[in-house]
Amino acid sequence: VTRLLAQGLERVVVVIPAHAEALASWWAAWCARVGPRWAAAVTLHRERTPRGTAGGLEAARGLGVDAVLVYADNLTDLDVPAMLRAHRRARADITLAAHTQAVTLPWGRVRRRGGALLGYDEKPSLPVEIASGAYVFSPACVESLPPEARVDVPALIEARRSSGARVRVWTHASAWLDVNDLDALKRAAHLARSTLSLECVVRTPADTVQVVGALLVRGDAVLLERRSPRAALTPGVWDTPGGKLELGEAPAAALQRELREELDLCAAHTQPLGAFDEPDARGVWVRQHAFALRVDLARQIRGLEGQTLEWHPLVSLPEPLAPAVRRSIARWQQMT
């Protein structure tokens, strides 16, 4: 969503199943607030029955504009405006993005001429051109979608191509990752931090409140602080220890200061988890600079400012819980 808005798209529809309450809550708490920051509309479309991978196009019916369809489990910095321009230059009905991906065979490949062996390659990596899970459909293609029927993208493309539609392939060399298993999730975490600016959604950092948070880990538990109901930020919730950055202060220096002042703790060996933006309950955007720190099992930690501190198992986190806690834990688990 952030990448689409950053590339200038003014209307984004997030399509989810009707029963996906967790996704609906995420949209209401975060996604719906991102759009106004980019002067765009981000709306939610809940499918009452499964419509297939092309079903989301229903949300574009009647708009009379080209519709871009992207799969949410593909992490990429693909240039959507460039794909749209190529689609319109070619006067295409459908444009699909494609790229070359190295595919490793799980077997040995035999190369031969007749009965003579030319070579034997153990588990070779072969270049294959694959679909990138990003498409542009013309208004006519959108209107051709059968109402209320389940339609997958390959079937829709083949049906339109068979009826004479102009289908074009647009190739790119952008970063791309299909996130469908734990190993891919770990690679995605590194890709998001090193290549893509996905989670800092506010364009100007000065428009956010800059804070630092420390995920203190001891065994399978994390130390959380219960914020005062009168706190200026995240009041009344369980959050990671930390605080605001002072003017001109670097996040790592702010972490050292906060842990020393609040917990009498030296944070010499912290692990940066990156930064992300979150709106608090009042709609104020907070940029969280997250760090992780393993704490010795024998070390007793006490609050120097009278704050409520408790260790909580990762499998049983308390409520209400600040969203930044879950995001910090997710990043830490991806990296470890």
- Positive or negative, the CA dihedral 153, 154, 159, 164 is positive
| Neighbouring C-beta atoms of residue 276, cutoff 10 Å | 20
Between 313 and 330, whose confidence is greater? 313
What is the pLDDT, as a whole number, of residue 198? 67
pLDDT tens digits for 259-295? 999 999 887 788 998 888 887 767 678 899 999 999 8
SS (H, E, C) 41-77: EEEEEEECCCCCCCHHHHHHCCCCCCEEEECCCEEEC
Closest to 171 measured CA to CA, from 76, 95, 77, 74:
95
39-78 residues labelled b (16+ CB within 10 A) or e (exposed): ebebebeebeeebbbbbbbbbbeeeeebbbbbbeebbbbb
Do residues 67 and 55 lie in contact, with contact meaning Cβ atoms separated by under 8 Å? no
What is the pLDDT, as a whole number, of residue 3? 81
The confidence band for 197, taking pLDDT boundaries of 50, 70 and 90, is: low
What is the pLDDT, as a whole number, of residue 297? 64
Please provide the average confidence, as pLDDT, over all residues in the chain.
89
What is the pLDDT, as a whole number, of residue 203? 67
* Alpha carbon distance 42, 32 (integer Å): 6
What is the pLDDT, as a whole number, of residue 274? 86
Distances from the Cα of 6 to the Cα of 198, 262, 280, angstroms = 9, 37, 22
What is the pLDDT, as a whole number, of residue 115? 94
pLDDT tens digits for 57-115? 998 999 999 999 999 999 888 999 999 999 999 999 999 999 998 889 999 999 999 99
* Alpha carbon distance 105, 6 (integer Å): 37
What is the pLDDT, as a whole number, of residue 195? 58
The confidence band for 44, taking pLDDT boundaries of 50, 70 and 90, is: very high
- Bond preceding residue 320 cis, omega within 30 of 0: yes
Report the percent of the chain where pLDDT is more than 90.
57
What is the pLDDT, as a whole number, of residue 193? 62
Tell me: pLDDT of 190 over 90: no
What does the pLDDT average to over 132-161?
94
